[in-house]
Amino acid sequence: MAILKGKVAVVTGSTSGIGLAYARAFAGAGANIVLNGIGAPADVEKTRTAIEDDFGVKAIYSPANMAEPVEIAHMISFAERTFGSVDVLVNNAGIQHVHVWTPLVEKQIPNTMKARNMDRDQVINDVLLAAQPTKEFVTAEQVASLALFLCSHDAAQITGANLSIDGGWTAA
Ligand SMILES: NC(=O)c1ccc[n+]([C@@H]2O[C@H](COP(=O)([O-])OP(=O)(O)OC[C@H]3O[C@@H](n4cnc5c(N)ncnc54)[C@H](O)[C@@H]3O)[C@@H](O)[C@H]2O)c1
């Protein structure tokens, strides 16, 4: 359903990961997209054209560094000049500092298997997701689906709320 048809979504940090999932979810709902983030020009261009080809919307790219206010202002001006307005902004860009050489989440599985002499299922169930009742990793697409819902009229009265997607981790 094209609930964002004709709208414009700026997603910071959307050249990969969760940000890219937001961008593709919004494009799938009809929004024109402003991609942002760091990446090799050829890879970013592939990502940008894939959005246009897959969803029939327009996607532009800004390399603005989110640590530089002037560059952020330029990105928003670029969006407004190109599309006339900005309707949705997702502040997603970021990096996560983890312990030296310790990768994030699923990438920890092989090393943890070796270090603890466990199989893959044991590492997932008893280590990484030990505190999470569903025992399944949250996907970027699931996070993006919630964001898309929050952009809809049905979610108009959800404002200032802190919503968890954590497989029951905090409730357990
Ligand atoms: N993946 C996880 O398990 C997880 C968990 C909790 C929170 N997060 C947070 O979610 C966000 C996205 O994570 P991800 O896993 O998709 O990471 P990712 O590394 O795949 O994506 C991060 C994006 O931000 C961009 N970026 C980084 N610094 C930037 C800057 N200064 N200016 C503009 N763009 C910049 C990168 O180019 C990339 O597009 C991050 O803020 C991360 O800390 C991730």
Tens-digit pLDDT string for the chain (172 aa): 699 999 999 999 999 999 999 999 999 999 999 999 999 999 999 999 999 999 999 999 999 999 999 999 999 999 999 999 999 999 999 987 766 558 677 888 999 999 999 999 999 999 999 999 999 999 999 999 999 999 999 999 999 999 999 999 999 9
Domain span including residue 114: 97-130
**Secondary structure tally for the chain: helices H, strands E:** 6, 4
Structure tokens at 59: 């996607």
SS3 at position 59 = strand
Residues 56 and 108 reside in one and the same domain: no
Pocket of ligand 1 (CB under 6 A): 12-19, 36-39, 65-67, 92-96, 104-105
SS3 at position 35 = strand
Residues 71 and 49 reside in one and the same domain: yes
The model carries a pTM of 0.93
Nearest to 15 by CA among 65, 78, 71: 65
C-alpha–C-alpha distance, residues 45 and 20, integer Å: 13
Residues 107 and 87 reside in one and the same domain: no
Nearest CA to ligand 1 atom 15: 17
